[in-house]
Amino acid sequence: MIPAPFDYEVAESVGHALQLVGDRDDAKLLAGGHSLIPALKLRIARPSKLVDIGRLAELSYVRDAGPQLAIGALTRHKAVRDDQLLQEHCPIVSTTAGMIGDPQVRHRGTIGGSLAHGDPASDLPAVLLALDGEVDLAAATGVRTLSARDFFLGVFDTAVGPGEMVTEVRVPKFSADHVWSFLKFRRRAQDWATVGVAAVARRSNGGVADPAIAFVNMGATPLRAPAAEAAWAAGADPGASADEGTDPPSDTSGSAEFRRHLARVLVTRAVEEANRR
């Protein structure tokens, strides 16, 4: 289909983007366009203005930020995958970015777009939730920082308000004690996850401490799995109760019941893989 008419402006700086997006309530930012363009074509999204932020090189970076790594919102999935700081200090993020879609998607899609789009089938939101990461939201009036727990509100719904823009994402640096895994089940090599699992913990006294397990596509938002986390910490089978508190969809990729089964299996496997690291 052909999109509904819209005005189009190219932002030359973050300040310029905020000014352009702030002057119309239904304006939308265009980053990699891999989700927004299809939504425009299907007329699911009908913004009267697009603000193209795809050329803002100032928002494409990975930086050492002390105990954290800071990732600019316009950093493409391929750059996240290939980044040496992330590979060394938070490899779950670079590894997951390398499992997104196919090379074309990874060359265009951005971490900011992936989070702001609020698709429960996206991979990086669940990883950010497991890591208790942070998101900076800038507006003409200033910047606010949200934890991942407060960022995802529902299907295609996030805390990004009118006139706001994700500018930076921060994740913690791992210590030598950290163990982790990201697994996803998909019907074909390049498909979205039917279900995905991010698992992170620290080795401690022969077991693990601070276990965090988060799901892709087991509800309206990325979800933590508290029962599985408690089982992991206790040395019990984390898979047995992994789907507790989830509300998976039924669609052409699988029924809710199948997703619950996948969640239990994938959590067991992810924890086994993490424990082996």
Q: Which chain residues interact with ligand FAD by CB under 6 A?
A: 28-36, 73, 100-101, 105, 108-110, 112-114, 116-117, 122-124, 160, 165-166, 192
Residue among 114 and 181 whose Cβ is closer to ligand FAD: 114
Q: How far is the CB of 153 from ligand FAD (least distance, A)?
A: 14
In this complex, which beta carbon is closest to ligand FAD, that of residue 110 or of residue 253?
110
CB of 124 to ligand FAD, least distance (A): 6
| Of residues 123 and 134, the one with the C-beta less far from ligand FAD | 123
Shortest spacing between CB 200 and ligand FAD, in angstroms: 18
Closer Cβ to ligand FAD, 108 or 178, answer by number:
108
Nearer to ligand FAD, 39 or 256 (CB): 39
Output the smallest distance, CB 210 to ligand FAD, in A: 25
Give the nearest residue (CB) to ligand FAD. Answer: 113
Least separation in angstroms between residue 58's CB and ligand FAD is 12
For the packed helices 256-276 and 226-234, what is the interaxial angle rounded to 10 degrees? 30
CB of 116 to ligand FAD, least distance (A): 3
